[in-house]
Structure 1
Amino acid sequence: MAQGQAVNMSLMDISKIFSLLQPKEEDEDGEQGQALNSAVSADDAALLSELLSQEKYRRCINAPSGWGVPVTPLRTAAALGHLRCLELLLEHGAEIDVLDVKAQTPLFTAVGGKHLDCVVALLKAGADPNGSQYNNCSPVLTAAREGDVDILRELLRFGAEVDVRPKVPEWASNATACRGPLYISAVYGHLGCFKLLLLHGANPDYNCTDDKMLARIKQPKTVVEVCLRYGCGVEYIQLLIDFGADVYLPTLIIDKTTKQNEALLLLLKERVCPKTLMSQARLAIRRHIPFADKDPAVDSLDIPLILRNYLKHRNSEL
């Protein structure tokens, strides 16, 4: 019966079968993309350059490939920290903010891998410092969690949002889900990142001055409360005070059982002692400087060096 059916097949049917067996253009593109990815994985810049000199490979520069989760060559270079390969791909027109299945950009993966040189190269080439709007996390949140001051500085220098929040639906918003970079750097004990975020304009009263947040969450935690809860050193509380945090916002119940550590005592002292005139003047001047990176503007002021350092909060060591 099967033989009879085969005999009765028309020439057109046979042609269709042969056409299905022919390699598809997507398959060919996948092979070229895999070749590019392999060269990047091996950090073989010479081979990658040779491949990209050919049109058929350049055409597939943004083609995802590989086992498991397919990724583009640029994403591979960023994840592995292979700078020269990354630069070659950018020079040949690789899509800079291409997303993987997790909605992560190459910049995001470079930040996660702590590859500073790749981060800088991507930012200079125009990568979005905030990552993807479709990813719950962001490069700044990642750098703050990892305590990578140098990478965080570059992200902020290129305009990353300093008070970025995890992107969760409104119905899922809570005090935990809405913790930003300043929260995270305090919880993980990264004092350098904590100060850097404040210097770039992070809100020391994060969450507690946001009307939308207050409407959804009855008692959002301030950064001061978080620092006290997680046992952060007195340096954190002092920085928050210096950068104008409202020391009356935390709803703290102080009784005989409350642990009287140095950070709490500093907060209680600040509540009864007004700020010095110099401290208030520094806050007012910094608020009127319109840039996130205020140091260049401060350096241009015709005032003594000691005052410029004071405005840049360089009067004390970390």
Structure 2
Amino acid sequence: MVVRRAADTSLMDVSKIFSLLQPKEEGEGGGECEALNEAVGRDDAALLSELLSQESYAASINARSGWGVPVTPLRTAAARGHLRCLELLLQRGAEIDSLDVKAQTPLFAAVSGKHLDCVVALLKAGADPNGSRYNGCSPVLTAAREGDVDVLRELLRFGAEADVRPKVPEWASGASACRGPLYLAAVYGHLDCFRLLLLHGANPNYNCTDGKALGRMKQPKTVLEVCLRYGCGAEYVQLLVDFGADVYLPTLIIDKTTKQNEALLLLLRERVRPKTLMSQTRLAIRRHILSANKAAAVDSLDVPALLRNYLKHEAAGLV
């Protein structure tokens, strides 16, 4: 019964994607959409406004045109970073989370293009910060991989999931399917993104909330293990320790041939040194703050500014 349900869901997802590939029927406004996309491509907001003032063009605002991957005018504006056109299309009622044949939303296109102003405009207009459930990737995963900390900050501020993972069929999922944005930020050496994800509640142990996926792996890799394997600096390990990672969780085989780098020595030292009361209190308070935007929640606490900064990991002198 479970297998049947999974298969039905898979077929539904495939049908959703392939429906976007169907040729347009006559009268769907292919010519009008092409004209709109051309105006957006030239970043000609005046022409776009003039076209949208006409009923036939306004009716084609969500139609798709173009070679290879047919796209809506909003998708074109987002991908090219044409903010004036994007805002005009949103004002005229463009579908904000429309999908292309790759199941990518306009927000995903803006994130991929590193167009921060378009990302913010789309998020303020109500775009889903997690992108489409039909797409294997997500805006957060993309920003973390590319090290775009400003874009990542906005996504998380608008409620994006910090522990999002690649979307793959259950039968194909493995260790890579559980490696979320925290893993990517570490592997690609983006310390600012790594810290930002932890500040917004990313799990410092596995960066994965799918218990079934973790259960299917004999030895799932912790974030600590990934950091050591890829030669991340001691600052990555220190952040994981500060945010409550289980330092006893990684299975480490250490002998005379093991390279004793700074990160490994830090981890071994933390295994024999108890946490301070201040550090344990900070962890307990942060765990009880349910808000995704923990920084904003901490700022609302009626405590001295020095303690608020400490709760946001901005006052190392208190440790």
Alignment TM-score, normalising by the size of structure 1: 0.89
In the TM superposition, residue 296 of structure 1 has moved relative to its aligned partner by 2.7
Is 1:315 paired with 2:291?
A: no
Q: Partner residue of 1:220?
A: 220
The one-letter code sitting in structure 2 at the alignment partner of 1:111 is V
Q: Quick one: distance in 1 between partners of 2:208 and 2:153?
A: 25
Q: Partner residue of 1:17?
A: none
Between 212-221 and 187-196, the greater mean CA deviation after superposition: 212-221
1:185-200 counterparts in 2 under 5 A?
185-200=185-200
In the TM superposition, residue 215 of structure 1 has moved relative to its aligned partner by 2.1
The one-letter code sitting in structure 2 at the alignment partner of 1:268 is L
> How far does the alpha carbon of each residue in 1:148-172 deviate from its partner, in whole angstroms, 9 at most, with x for none?
1111111111111110010011121
SS in 1 for 2:75: helix
Q: Quick one: distance in 2 between partners of 1:306 and 1:115?
A: 35
* Residues 207 and 213 in structure 1, CA contact (< 8 A), matched pair in contact too: no
In the TM superposition, residue 206 of structure 1 has moved relative to its aligned partner by 1.4
Q: Partner residue of 1:18?
A: none
Structure 1: gaps spanning 5 or more residues: 1-23
Greater C-alpha Rg: 1
SS in 1 for 2:285: helix
Q: Quick one: distance in 2 between partners of 1:292 and 1:311?
A: 15
In the TM superposition, residue 198 of structure 1 has moved relative to its aligned partner by 0.3
Q: Quick one: distance in 1 between partners of 2:102 and 2:210?
A: 29
Q: Quick one: distance in 2 between partners of 1:174 and 1:138?
A: 18
Structure 2: gaps spanning 5 or more residues: 1-23
Q: Quick one: distance in 2 between partners of 1:291 and 1:139?
A: 20
Q: Partner residue of 1:239?
A: 239
Is 1:302 paired with 2:299?
A: no
In the TM superposition, residue 26 of structure 1 has moved relative to its aligned partner by 2.7
Is 1:34 paired with 2:43?
A: no
Q: Quick one: distance in 2 between partners of 1:125 and 1:176?
A: 33
* Residues 208 and 222 in structure 1, CA contact (< 8 A), matched pair in contact too: no
**Aligned-pair identity (%):** 82
In the TM superposition, residue 308 of structure 1 has moved relative to its aligned partner by 1.6
Q: Partner residue of 2:79?
A: 79
In the TM superposition, residue 300 of structure 1 has moved relative to its aligned partner by 2.9
Q: Partner residue of 2:162?
A: 162
Q: Partner residue of 1:282?
A: 282
Q: Quick one: distance in 2 between partners of 1:181 and 1:69?
A: 27
With over 3 angstroms needed to count, the CA separation of the structure-2 counterparts of 1:244 and 1:257, relative to structure 1, is same
SS in 2 for 1:26: coil
The one-letter code sitting in structure 1 at the alignment partner of 2:106 is P
In the TM superposition, residue 183 of structure 1 has moved relative to its aligned partner by 0.3
Between 285-294 and 116-125, the greater mean CA deviation after superposition: 285-294
* Residues 163 and 207 in structure 2, CA contact (< 8 A), matched pair in contact too: no
Q: Quick one: distance in 1 between partners of 2:94 and 2:227?
A: 43
In the TM superposition, residue 210 of structure 1 has moved relative to its aligned partner by 5.0
Q: Quick one: distance in 1 between partners of 2:225 and 2:143?
A: 22
In the TM superposition, residue 85 of structure 1 has moved relative to its aligned partner by 0.3
* Residues 33 and 73 in structure 2, CA contact (< 8 A), matched pair in contact too: yes
Q: Partner residue of 1:58?
A: 58
Alignment TM-score, normalising by the size of structure 2: 0.89
In the TM superposition, residue 303 of structure 1 has moved relative to its aligned partner by 2.7
* Residues 140 and 155 in structure 1, CA contact (< 8 A), matched pair in contact too: yes
With over 3 angstroms needed to count, the CA separation of the structure-2 counterparts of 1:240 and 1:60, relative to structure 1, is same
With over 3 angstroms needed to count, the CA separation of the structure-2 counterparts of 1:249 and 1:208, relative to structure 1, is farther
In the TM superposition, residue 307 of structure 1 has moved relative to its aligned partner by 1.7
In the TM superposition, residue 302 of structure 1 has moved relative to its aligned partner by 3.3
The CA RMSD measured in Å over matched residues stands at 1.6
* Residues 207 and 220 in structure 1, CA contact (< 8 A), matched pair in contact too: no
Q: Quick one: distance in 1 between partners of 2:295 and 2:157?
A: 11
> How far does the alpha carbon of each residue in 1:165-198 deviate from its partner, in whole angstroms, 9 at most, with x for none?
1001112111123210000000000000000000
